[in-house]
Each structure stands twice: as structure tokens, then as C-alpha cells.
Amino acid sequence: MMRLIAIFKRDLKSSFREFLAVYIIVAPILFAIGLRFFIPSVEAISYQFAIEESLGNEVVQEFKKYGSVETYNDLDKLKSRVNKVDDIIGITKGSAGGYAVVLEGNEAGGSRYIAHQIINRLQGGERKEIVTFSDIGARISTVAIYGTSSVILMAIILCGIVIGLNIIEEKESRTISALGVTPMHRLEFILGKSLVGFSLPIIEAFIIVWILNMTNINLMMILVMTVASSLIAIIFGFLIGVLSSNQISGIANMKFLMLFVSASFIGAVALPQTYQRFLYWSPIYWSTIGLNSIVANTATWPLIGQYTMWILGLTILIFFIFRKKISTGLS
């Protein structure tokens, strides 16, 4: 165990002293920060209402069905709130009884009609409906879903590539030979190298979730899917390492790998359901749909278990196909 930790610490130290490796590690975090500006917040994709308290709890509860509600006991405060930069619809008592809708004037087109519609329902009216309410189950924007899952997947794959770069370093400096004349077993070498591929994606996945303000998703599921997906990234890392004689060829192989990863991700997101079976062979496909479902809050543990089994099964298969290549390459 001490050797595994020593190999892991050395790799980490070495990676953080290499510009390319640092960039690869930090890139997903930078992407997440960039993406944060494009993901609409929860408030922006649902309606917000500022309601005068005197309208009563029944009114407040009715409006809560359609969005978030803030209550105010003072009309001026309510107006001041409506006047702020975000879209929020004020509801107060009308001068002739009933209700009055307070708007800033620059709200999105449908806002006032939605308020009218809800008030109409409250009053039990049967006026012609301008807006009908339906719920397709979406609680989060597609940008947020695919953005989050793609950045997490990127972190997982790139951390696998860090393993590849470390193996290339060992090959270029021939330190593998120096390790070969110590009591270290080859399995310890492989496991020690793999630790970077497990630990960094987990840390990065949680940082990404935090940056993207997605902390309400099931973090345990994220952990399971990240660990499972890391397995295939680790094999990719070892393959890049043993197939590349230097960093340049390592980067070339990395590009080829990214093509495969991107194709699997885009296919999982864009292909119609009936064609998705053509992607079942790719563990990245299962990682993608797993992460998407977790971020969209539609995942269940049986579903995550099923995706994880697919990833594990396919990863083991890929490992057995390339086992000899990896073993020879590390000699």
C-alpha cells in the first residue's frame, strides 16, 4: 500500500510540475466556470411572484404551484422588489377590490398572462384561457444537463490522459527499468498509476457540480458514476501511455481518443432513441446517459446500477482485448 501511495504522490507531484498536465487537469474547471454564465439559474426558468401578505395564505399557496413566491407586507417594498433587474410579477389588492398585477414593464411576454390566468383560476372564473398549464417533467434546462455531464465526462477522460502522460514520462526517462529492479510488483505499479485516474475525477466532479450550482442532485450517484467511468478513462490512459513513445505522439493518440469520446457523447445526446442501440458497445455512451439522468434528477439507483454494470462489463472486455499490449508496453 505504501508503494501505491508513493507512486500516486510522485505522479501527482510530477503532473503539477508539467504545464501540459496542469492544463489538462484544470481545463474542466475552467470550462465549468465558463459554462456557469450560460446556464440559466433555477429562478430564471420558473416564474417568480411577489405577493402582498394581506391577500392571504390561499393566494400564496395557489401561486406557489407555478413558481417561487416572496411575500411583502408593504406595497412600496413589493414595488421596489418588482423594480429589480430580474423578472418578478407583483400581485396586490386592486383598487376596486380583486387583484392587481404589478409589472416593471420589460418582463418576458407571457408573464402578465400567466398571472392573469392564475388569478382567474383563483376566482373560479371561466374566461377564455390565454395560457394553459402543462408539465413535461423538466426541472432544469438542457444546457445545464448536457453542459454539466459533458464537463464531468471531460474531467474523467482528461484525468485518464494524465496517467498516459505519466507513463510516457516513465518510458522516455527509462525509470520503468529502475523500478523494475526494486521489489515493486507490476500490479502495484498499475494500481499506483491508476489512483490519479480515480481521485482527480472525483474531486473535479464535485468542484464542477459546485461551480455549476448543481448541488441539489444526488451526489452519491455522481460519485458512483464518476468512479465507474474512471475505469475506462484509466484504460485509455494506459493505452495512450504504452502506445506513445513521446509526448507528441501521446497528444496525437489523445486526439484520436477524444474523437471516440465525443462521438459517443453526441450520439447519446442527439440520436433518436431507436438508433441509440448502435452505441451500446461504448462505455462512454453509458456514462453519458448516466450522468445526464443524474443531473436531470431522473436517475434511480436501479438505473444507475444498470448503467454501471454496462460500463464495468465493457471496460473489462476492453481491458482483456488490450491486456497484452499494456503489459508488454510497461516492460
Partner 1 sequence: MIRVKNLYHSYTNDSNYAVKDVSFEISKGEIFGFLGPSGAGKSTTQKILIGLLQLQRGEVSIDGKDIRNANRKLFNSIGVSFERANVYKKLTGIENLSFFAQMFSVPTEDPLKLLKMVGLQDAASKKASSYSKGMLQRLVFARSMINNPSIWFLDEPTSGLDPTTTSVIKDIIRNRQKQGATVFLTTHNMHIAEELCDRVAFITNGEISAIDSPRSLKLKYGEKRVIVEHIEAGELTKEELSLTEEANKERLSSIISAGKIETMHTQEASLEDIFIKLTGKELK
**Which residues contact partner 1 (rule: CB under 8 A)?**
2-3, 6, 10, 13-14, 17-18, 169, 173-175, 177-185
Nearer to partner 1, 155 or 165 (CB): 165
For 154, residues 6+ apart whose C-beta sits below 8 A from its C-beta are 27, 28, 31
- Taking the complex as a whole, the smallest distance from the CB of residue 243 to partner 1 amounts, in Å, to 21
- Taking the complex as a whole, the smallest distance from the CB of residue 199 to partner 1 amounts, in Å, to 18
Q: Taken in order 78, 84, 89, 95, is the CA torsion positive or negative?
A: positive
- Taking the complex as a whole, the smallest distance from the CB of residue 248 to partner 1 amounts, in Å, to 17
Nearer to partner 1, 16 or 133 (CB): 16
Nearer to partner 1, 5 or 309 (CB): 5
Nearer to partner 1, 14 or 71 (CB): 14
- Taking the complex as a whole, the smallest distance from the CB of residue 331 to partner 1 amounts, in Å, to 8
Nearer to partner 1, 29 or 179 (CB): 179
Which of left, alpha, beta for 63 (phi over 0: left; psi -120 to 50: alpha)? alpha
Count Cβ atoms within 10 A of the Cβ of residue 326 and give its class: 0-12 exposed, 13-18 middle, 19 or more buried. middle
Nearer to partner 1, 16 or 256 (CB): 16
* Residues 194 and 163 sit within 8 Å (Cβ to Cβ): yes
- Taking the complex as a whole, the smallest distance from the CB of residue 8 to partner 1 amounts, in Å, to 11
Please give the C-alpha separations between residue 133 and each of 65, 99, 103, 114, 136, in angstroms, as whole numbers: 11, 21, 21, 9, 10
Question: In angstroms, rounded to a whole number, what is the distance separating the alpha carbons of residues 319 and 322?
Answer: 5
- Please tell me the total number of residues recorded for the chain in this structure: 331
Cell match 429562478: residue?
43
Question: In angstroms, rounded to a whole number, what is the distance separating the alpha carbons of residues 295 and 20?
Answer: 30
- Taking the complex as a whole, the smallest distance from the CB of residue 161 to partner 1 amounts, in Å, to 17
- Taking the complex as a whole, the smallest distance from the CB of residue 285 to partner 1 amounts, in Å, to 36
Cell match 529502475: residue?
178
Nearer to partner 1, 51 or 163 (CB): 163
Which of left, alpha, beta for 209 (phi over 0: left; psi -120 to 50: alpha)? alpha
